[in-house]
Structure 1
């Protein structure tokens, strides 16, 4: 009997290890996006789009509609104004969006706790030390207010009332993602993280068109453990009682591999910032910056590079999983969306794949990939974009 029990435990452990993916939701993240709904009426920047999202998403995102009915009232004006204010400040003063809040919300203990798991500090190589300190103070103060809102309005009750929807959404999403892809990512990048978690966010407003959704990558560091996350909005319009917003295999796979990929890629691009100094000028003076902003709001040259390398990783990971069809679809999808350096990157990455003894990890090969961007020219960039 003891041998059988040990076998079962080992078998279950092997299954967990093979997949390595947790699918759940975060009360902290959901509380923020709930507050973002309330903030739409008070925004100074992007107000028209925020109001459009609120109206549009309430039609086919049932949790958004319920949140509006339950909490969109004068009683919650304080958190609505504070949420609008911090987002306006981020955009106007520092040039970034709400994605920078995600790490802090995950570093904070689950609401209604007012404690942090570890000291939180915002850092960005695009900002000075003084600015990083300013942003840190802004975020800590705001998250503290958000925790107060959670407790005062008993947001926990909202999650309990909608528990069945969240659980069904988790099950729906789990059916879409490629099994074993975390292992494939670790093999490709030559690096591992402590955990990989998909955080579904049915209350995140995002207009759904052609199965497009929004994903946000985030990570936390507590002690020597680094945990990485994908935060996923719905990407299917809910029109039937048995739909939960995540029944689209291509989008689920794309967003999951993509957002986790940022945790492997971004830090390497930022470490090698000096290797793409020339590309900064090319990005600014060619048509690429304007195009990337229209594509996905990628108005920074480092972001443009990181987004290319993450998409390269998506294709390579599909190939590692012997999924040529997925790789082909991803390449076509990304070329359509103006990621013009992908053919060169795919050719260059063969050197990495063919000599993993020399390059045991992706980080060691990044400087060679960055040469493609820095060695380019305005004529090449504009010609590629003009053909779109």
Structure 2
């Protein structure tokens, strides 16, 4: 009987461990690497050109003058990188089936809603697919495999990732069934992109190397993960408060000239970024990274001109971090407080 019970407990432990591992998926995506390659050809990174990875990425210098690449740059000039990331993340793996047609529903979720816009984005996808074949990227992808494998080993040894996700879930008061971390060797060092999938069950975090020359390390990864996963939680909640967003819209005017070059062209995107960065500051503090939390607050407020960040951090600490309100009501109350403190006569 004892042996049976031990076997049952062991089986349940294995199942539990497998479930926990399945919640976090760290992997490369060929489509994202190809997008990074396209960006690299148009706007080269500052990586060492003699680095082995750089040499593999640039083994076909003639690709930079392909007509199909020029057409991609021409058509995609006004498309936000985040939209391009979401498009490539959700497309089938390149090369595409010759009969593939981007579904209208998927195009609409990316902001392309009219027939003219459908035709535009579908044509762009076709151009990207054509360049994929012409560029011999399949060879580049295969040649980079040893470096992808070593990078995955390194990131999977970041023991703090589960505690980071746990702290993010605790602050926002919700969770996703899947967390998708997609590193890239071809995207510039430093940036990341976060969000949730259309079904709302997966939070994704796409990132380039933490530092130039393809370096991934825990320092820097922590705050980037908190920030980008934060978008999956915060974006949808902030956008639910239409009335409060409308009432505080005038707050965008004093910082409009500073926000535009950073990619925030209206109050909605700007206020989302304020809340995500406020969450980043608070969660890093809760993760016992006080110095990084304070440094980011100063950087965002003083250099990036997120002038309402101190106020939002203070209010979210009062409402959310102290567990007085859920995150949704914390956002709503904070927006009301913003109005009363900055706009009320």
Interval containing the TM-score (normalised by the shorter chain): 0.7 to 0.9
Alignment of 1:40-51 (within 5 A): 40=42, 50=43
The 8 Å contact of residues 196 and 232 in structure 2, kept in 1 or not, is answered as yes
Match of residue 81, structure 1, among 57, 64, 70: 70
Q: Distance in 2 between matches of 1:111 and 1:332?
A: 42
Shift of 1:261: 0.8
Cα offset for 1:158? Answer: 1.9
1:266 Cα deviation after fit: 1.7
Residue 174 of structure 1: how far off its partner (Å): 4.0
Q: Is the 8 A contact 1:64 1:205 kept in 2?
A: no
Q: 1:201 to 1:122 in 2, by over 3 A?
A: farther
Aligned with residue 250 of structure 2, among 281, 284, 297: 281
User: Aligned ranges for residues 90-239 of structure 1 at < 5 Å?
Assistant: 90=78, 96-114=79-97, 115=100, 119-123=105-109, 129-130=113-114, 134-176=116-158, 178-205=161-188, 213-221=190-198, 224=199, 226-238=201-213
Question: Residues 205 and 181 (structure 1 numbering): CA distance in 2 closer, same or farther, change over 3 Å?
Answer: closer
Between the aligned partners of 1:154 and 1:79, the Cα distance in structure 2 is 13
Equivalent position of 1:68 in the other structure:
58
Alpha-carbon distance between aligned partners in 2 of 1:60 and 1:273, rounded to the nearest angstrom: 51
Query: Aligned in 2, Cα 1:315/1:36: closer, same or farther, shift over 3 Å?
Result: closer
Summarize the Cα distance change of 1:139–1:65 in structure 2 as closer, same or farther, 3 Å threshold. Answer: farther
Measure the CA separation in 1 of the matches of 2:241 and 2:119. 28
Cα separation, partners in 2 of 1:179 and 1:128, compared to 1, 3 Å? closer
CA distance in 1 between counterparts of 2:209 and 2:279 reads 23
Which sections of structure 2, spanning at least 5 residues, go unmatched? none
TM-score (norm 2): 0.81
What is the rounded CA distance, in whole Å, between the counterparts of 2:340 and 2:116 in structure 1? 37
- 1:36 and 2:11 correspond: no
Task: Please tell me the root mean square deviation across aligned C-alpha atoms, in Å.
Answer: 3.2
> CA offset at residue 255 of structure 1?
1.3
Q: 1:172 to 1:374 in 2, by over 3 A?
A: farther
Give TM-score, length-normalised by structure 1: 0.73
The 1:4/1:149 distance shift into structure 2, 3 A limit, reads farther
**CA deviation string 1:23-46 (max 9, x = no partner):** 2211111112212334x2xxxxxx
Q: Distance in 2 between matches of 1:184 and 1:172?
A: 22
- Identify the match of residue 21 of structure 2 among 16, 26, 29: 16
Q: d(CA) in 1 for partners of 2:34 and 2:341?
A: 44
Aligned length: 332
> Structure 1 residue 271: deviation in Å?
2.8
Assess if the C-alpha contact under 8 Å between 1:24 and 1:200 holds in 2: yes
Offset at 1:290?
A: 2.1
